């Protein structure tokens, strides 16, 4: 299948689309940290004129996702481990605040939709644990992919319920430096540490309960602990 740089990019202005693609490319590793880039090269890659690329890069320079290294030279920011850890902790703090606001506002549809998400995920998680016992876990990447997609939707719904556009923008800015965990690493963890996997998964139900009860403090603490632990695991060397 031919590479489509625009897949999944919202249909907004061309400069906004280029901006969204560049951010996703940095987060996903298509553009690696420290990689040199040029307006002309990126424009050719995306099949657009240099103007929208220039506008997008200007915003990314402002956000420190891209840095200017000379009059005509640019590169993707390459922060050290300490800075990346601090960014990850900032993201976790923001996610805690988002959960706090969601617990405070609790729109009527939120708890229902979160319950539906976890009910769907519960069946898949049970299937994964059965597959581990049967020795067929390696054949379940699709089920795990679906679980991760459901949980991502779960957290997006909480963010939407917080209804705070400034917080959303700050979260988006911090996320560009965090990469999603790979499926095969998660499968390895289910296989080697199923109790930890189940405990981490059940944290979603605890967070839902706190939001449903309007317990802002507990929702904040649970969300922060959940996300900061995930960030630290991503940074930990693989063994």
What is the Cα–Cα distance from 66 to 48, expressed in whole angstroms?
19
State the residue for tokens 């902790």. Answer: 89
Query: pLDDT value at position 141?
Result: 81
Give every residue of the chain whose pLDDT is below 70, as ranges: 1-12, 179-188, 231-239
Q: Are 103 and 219 in contact (CB under 8 A)?
A: yes
Q: What is the pLDDT of residues 107-154, one digit of tens each?
A: 989 999 999 999 999 999 999 999 988 888 888 888 888 998 999 999
% of residues, the chain, pLDDT over 70: 87
CA 59 to chain centre: 20
State the residue for tokens 């280029």. Answer: 18
CB-based contacts of 19-26 (< 8 A; 24+ apart in sequence): 19/55, 19/56, 19/59, 19/60, 21/46, 22/56, 22/57, 22/60, 22/65, 22/66, 23/60, 23/65, 23/172, 23/176, 26/65, 26/76, 26/176, 26/177
- Which tokens is 206 given? 């605890």
- Which tokens is 135 given? 């020795």
- Which tokens is 188 given? 């390895």
Query: pLDDT value at position 67?
Result: 94
Residue 93 gets the label, from left (phi > 0), alpha (psi -120 to 50) or beta, of: alpha
What is the Cα–Cα distance from 82 to 59, expressed in whole angstroms?
24
Q: What is the pLDDT of residues 49-70, one digit of tens each?
A: 999 999 999 999 999 999 999 8
Residues 6+ positions from 32 with CB-CB distance below 8 Å: 76
CB-based burial, 87-124: b 16+ in 10 Å, e otherwise: bbbbbbbbbbbbbbbbbeeeeeebbeebeebbeebeeb
Which residue, among 161, 170, 171, 169, has the nearest Cα to 104 in the 3D structure? 161
């Amino acid at each position: 299948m031919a590479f489509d740089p625009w897949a999944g990019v919202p249909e907004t202005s061309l400069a906004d689309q280029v901006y969204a693609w560049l951010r996703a490319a940095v987060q996903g590793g298509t553009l690696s940290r420290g990689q040199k880039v040029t307006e002309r090269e990126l424009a050719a890659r995306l099949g657009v004129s240099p103007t929208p690329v220039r506008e997008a890069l200007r915003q990314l320079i402002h956000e420190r996702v891209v840095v200017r290294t000379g009059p005509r030279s640019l590169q993707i920011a390459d922060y050290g481990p300490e800075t990346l850890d601090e960014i990850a902790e900032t993201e976790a703090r923001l996610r805690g605040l988002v959960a706090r606001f969601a617990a405070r506002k609790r729109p009527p549809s939120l708890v229902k939709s979160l319950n539906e998400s976890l009910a769907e995920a519960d069946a898949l998680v049970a299937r994964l644990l059965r597959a581990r016992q049967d020795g067929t876990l390696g054949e379940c990447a699709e089920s795990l992919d679906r679980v991760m997609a459901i949980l991502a939707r779960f957290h997006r719904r909480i963010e939407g319920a917080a209804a705070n556009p400034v917080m959303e923008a700050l979260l988006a800015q911090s996320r560009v430096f965090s990469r999603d965990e790979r499926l095969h690493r998660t499968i390895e963890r289910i296989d080697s540490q199923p109790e930890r996997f189940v405990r981490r998964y059940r944290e979603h139900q605890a967070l839902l309960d706190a939001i449903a009860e309007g317990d802002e403090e507990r929702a904040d603490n649970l969300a922060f602990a959940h996300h900061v632990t995930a960030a630290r695991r991503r940074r930990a060397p693989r063994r």
